[in-house]
């Protein structure tokens, strides 16, 4: 037989066997610990099941959950409105505007949200006479309003950076192409740049909302009876550890629902990219 008519079969070497490295062993051990922890938590909740506990304290949990969602929703909306001029100032060529916006973002992203909340709740209380003179004491004497104010300022800094990064991720050629068609800068921003930028910003926005939901638990320290505030009150009355476990489960459910909602929205608005 000639080499032209013969088909040479070359056997590929078998893939190398995966050894049990330290990293792999550690990974399996950690996964096993998490599984054991989850099973133990389920067993504990089943063993400690108390219908009277839910009958007495479940309405408080529902009320606290409503306060949490209301706080986060208002803060996110106000922060989104405030983030637009901040993002514009960050992209401005004016050194005064860009410097002010940079300082704002630097402060609120570089300091803990808890410290910012304390500065508003306890710090502004030191200026009660001045606030009464301008008619703002009625607003800032309420812990819930102070929390909204602090959270809105905090999330505005993060949302401004998300928006700025998303806008700057759009290629410069999009602006140049729109200008060649005679479109105004505002038209270009609204009809061409923003639709593309929001696709990029969707997941970071979702992450910011998730962080706000989890971070909202700190308002319990300033006497706001949100979900965590009600949980602390329940534990102080019952000394039952499962009160915190149920609160954690509620937070987890909210986060998972939000995560799946963001993924669904992303699939819907990027369907043209998968054809």
CA 209 – CA 79 distance, rounded (Å): 11
Which pLDDT tens digits describe the chain residue by residue (275 residues)?
Answer: 455 555 555 566 766 666 677 788 888 888 999 898 888 878 877 777 778 888 888 899 999 999 999 999 999 999 999 999 999 899 888 889 999 999 999 999 999 999 999 999 998 888 888 888 888 888 888 999 999 999 999 999 999 999 999 888 888 887 778 888 887 777 888 888 888 888 888 899 999 999 999 999 999 999 899 999 999 999 998 888 888 988 999 999 999 999 999 989 888 887 766 65
Q: Which CATH number fits domain 56-239+241-273: 3.30.930.10, 2.40.30.10, 3.40.640.10, 1.10.3720.10?
A: 1.10.3720.10
Q: What is the pLDDT of residue 41?
A: 78
pLDDT at 7: 54
Give buried/exposed letters for 129-167 (b at 16+ CB in 10 A, else e): eebeeeeebeebeebbbbbbbbbbbbbbbbbbbbbbebb
> Is there a contact between 124 and 140 (Cβ–Cβ < 8 Å)?
yes
Maximum CA extent, the chain: 106
Residue 271 and residue 265: Cα distance in Å, rounded? 10
Q: What pTM does this model have?
A: 0.82
51-91 vs 143-169: helix crossing angle, rounded to 10: 50
Give φ, ψ of 110 to 5 degrees: -100, -5
Q: E strands along 24-103, which residues?
A: none
Domain coordinates of the chain in residue numbers? Answer: 22-50, 56-239+241-273
CA distance 41 to 223: 29
Asked if 103 contacts 264 with a C-beta cutoff of 8 angstroms, the reply is no
Are 143 and 223 in contact by the 8 Å Cβ rule? The answer is yes
Instruction: Tell me what pLDDT residue 56 has.
Output: 87
């Amino acid at each position: 037989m000639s080499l032209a008519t013969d088909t040479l079969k070359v056997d590929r070497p078998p893939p190398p066997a995966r050894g049990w490295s330290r990293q792999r062993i550690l990974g399996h051990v950690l996964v096993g610990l998490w599984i054991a922890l989850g099973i133990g938590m389920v067993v504990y909740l089943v063993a400690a099941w108390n219908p009277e506990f839910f009958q007495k304290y479940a309405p408080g949990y529902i009320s606290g959950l409503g306060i949490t969602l209301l706080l986060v929703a208002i803060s996110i909306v106000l922060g989104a409105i405030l983030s637009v001029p901040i993002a514009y100032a960050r992209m401005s060529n004016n050194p005064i505007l860009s410097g002010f916006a940079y300082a704002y973002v630097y402060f609120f992203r570089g300091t803990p949200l808890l410290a910012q909340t304390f500065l508003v709740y306890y710090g502004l209380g030191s200026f009660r006479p001045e606030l009464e003179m301008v008619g703002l004491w009625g607003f800032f004497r309420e812990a819930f309003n102070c929390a909204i104010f602090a959270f809105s300022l905090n999330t505005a800094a993060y949302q401004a950076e998300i928006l700025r990064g998303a806008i700057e991720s759009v290629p410069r050629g999009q602006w140049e192409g729109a200008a060649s068609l005679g479109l105004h800068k505002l038209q270009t921003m609204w009809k061409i740049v923003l639709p593309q930028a929001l696709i990029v910003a969707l997941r970071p926005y979702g992450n910011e909302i998730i962080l706000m939901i989890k971070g909202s638990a700190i308002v319990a320290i300033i006497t706001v009876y949100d979900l965590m505030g009600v949980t602390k009150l329940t534990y102080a009355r019952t000394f039952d550890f499962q009160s915190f476990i149920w609160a954690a489960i509620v937070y987890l459910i909210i986060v998972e629902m939000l995560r799946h909602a963001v993924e669904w929205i992303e699939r819907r608005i990027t369907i043209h990219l998968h054809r």
